[in-house]
Amino acid sequence: MRILVTGGAGYIGSILVPELLKIGHEVIVMDNFMYNQTSLLDYCHDEKLAIIRGDARDKKIIPKCLEKVDAIFPLACLTGAPLCSKDALGAQTTNFDAIKMLLDLCRNDQMIIFPTTNSGYGIGQKDKFCTEETPLNPISLYGRTKVEAEKIILEHGNSISLRLATVFGLSPRMRIDLMVNDFVYRAVNDRFIVLFEGHFKRNFIHIRDVARAFIHALENFDEMKNEPYNVGLSDANISKIELCAKIKKQLPDFVYLEAPVGEDTDKRDYLVSNEKIEKTGFRPEFTLDMGIKELIKGYNIIKNTKYGNV
């Protein structure tokens, strides 16, 4: 197939694009390279890869990108609550307005696989798993823009929405501001962390399993289309304290404490069921422990914080 990946040089795209090339797809990456990343340089020799430097909001560029394309993966996004709070206009125009424009310009027969976030569940009910039928209640601008974009994409049809758990793992366009990546970075470099509201829970997924989920959705598109799917590790609905305990098993000198006062600005707290996508045959291959081990190794290379989104 010929696949357009907007934001294809980002954290997820830098893992996903090489996997698409490896299995024979032609890929057009459209990215504005806002982080000056060089994550796809190793693949520029591949004749199946085309790279267009541009902004997903640019109505002059998008129609050219869409020509003769079979599938669209709209990854271009201002990702994360802190970044969206810092640039509210950019969040609205990139995360929602650009998606609306894309839907207006694309053909009805072009498949769309969209990454949204299970942070749209906001604050879940205690001991009750959020399914794809659970009402969405995003508590950040980031969550709201992604939920609104998912709504119009599914209404458009010929589409799949992947509600990703909190992603972890190494990428050529690294992010250390994601929870697992951040906690392991602190454990390696600072050897301690102070937690606020450490009982808050969420679900997690390795970045390479995210790439596998996109390919699974593409290969099973007709059976899965026009539905949202939670994508996470079913054995990793855990709290921040439980995550720290897992890290400590691999880094015994790591110390974690929970502050008796104070609040976390990120109020997300929920359990997520991934049963729906598992019934389609998808199973993650990378465990949380494998990801922690990988990150510890990677942080022997990365020694600064330029890899965050903010």
Note the pLDDT tens digit of each residue in 26-85.
999 999 999 999 999 999 999 999 999 999 999 999 999 999 999 999 999 999 989 999
| Whether the predicted pLDDT of 197 surpasses 90 | no
pLDDT of residue 262: 75
Those residues with Cβ within 8 angstroms of residue 135's Cβ, 6 or more apart along the chain or in another chain: none
Mean pLDDT of the 231-255 span: 97
| Whether the predicted pLDDT of 307 surpasses 90 | no
User: Among 91, 221, 204, 252, which residue's Cα sits nearest to residue 157?
Assistant: 221
Those residues with Cβ within 8 angstroms of residue 252's Cβ, 6 or more apart along the chain or in another chain: none
Note the pLDDT tens digit of each residue in 120-167.
898 877 779 999 999 998 989 999 999 999 999 999 999 999 999 999
Q: How far is CA 240 from CA 29, 221, 245, 247, in A?
A: 35, 35, 9, 11
Note the pLDDT tens digit of each residue in 97-119.
999 999 999 999 999 999 999 88
Ordered structural domains, the chain, with CATH: 2-168+204-231 (3.40.50.720), 179-202+235-298 (3.90.25.10)
